[in-house]
Amino acid sequence: MIVASVVGFLGNEAVAMFRIKVGREIGSAALVAEGYHAGMDGLGSLGVLAGALGVWFSFPLADPLIGLLIMLIIFKTGWESGKSLFTRLLDGVDPEIVEEIRQAANHVPGVENIAEVRVRWIGHRLLTEVNIAVASDLTVEQGHDIAKEVRHQLLHHLHHLADATIHVDPFSASGERHHEVSAHDHDELPTHSH
């Protein structure tokens, strides 16, 4: 039983590390969660070993106590994996990814401000839209060149990023509030805004 427990632990741990590594590489929250599940199976094998040894050394409560401990670990891991999967289902993105996009864009010469960053998952790939501000006296061509470099840096630094749309604002009118259209009417439609 000792040999079977150790072999079970090592096998499950190897599978867990492989699944988590590949899941992170391809951006699959489900594969990462499955890796954590395999890790829990490995801990279960060690728990069986610890419980059996405890009983063998005349401590009969070892088996139920180890079972309770494993249950708590499984619950915690399931909770963390479930939160990650549920966030992905709701089109959520880790705040670290948004910050990584901000950092990469901020390091491009000519970027004065990052007004907005919007990111979403499409399968295993990310799409982002970034509003940058550049000096107001630059030409359209200069602003365009800065935007191209921001896009290049984002695609270079973020492994799962499939595409980036960069919107350029003059620094004097940076952010979404400068793009709002006030209430108006046209034809015979009701008054509305955009």
| Whether residue 174 has pLDDT greater than 80 | no
Length of the chain: 194
Q: At 163, is the pLDDT very low, low, confident or very high (cuts 50, 70, 90)? A: very high
- Digit-coded pLDDT (tens) for 28-37: 777 777 888 7
Look at phi and psi of residue 123 and say left if phi exceeds 0, alpha if psi is from -120 to 50, else beta.
left
pLDDT-above-70 percentage for the chain: 89
User: Which residues 6+ apart lie within 8 Å of 60 measured at CB?
Assistant: 54
Beta carbons of 117 and 98 less than 8 angstroms apart: yes
Q: What pLDDT digit, counting tens, does each position of 68-115 carry?
A: 888 888 888 778 777 777 777 777 788 888 999 999 999 999 999 998
Q: Could you give the CA distance from residue 178 to residue 129 in angstroms, rounded to a whole number?
A: 17
DSSP 92: -
Measured CA to CA, the distance from residue 31 to residue 94 in angstroms comes to 17
- In contact, 40 and 139? CB cutoff 8 Å: no
Write down the pTM of the prediction.
0.60
- From residue 158, give the alpha-carbon distance in Å to each of 4, 34, 37, 39, 186: 42, 24, 27, 28, 44
The angle that helices 140-157 and 95-106 make with each other, rounded to 10 degrees, is 130
Question: Which residues, 6+ apart, have CB-to-CB distance to 35 below 8 Å?
Answer: 15, 16, 17, 18, 19, 20, 21, 23
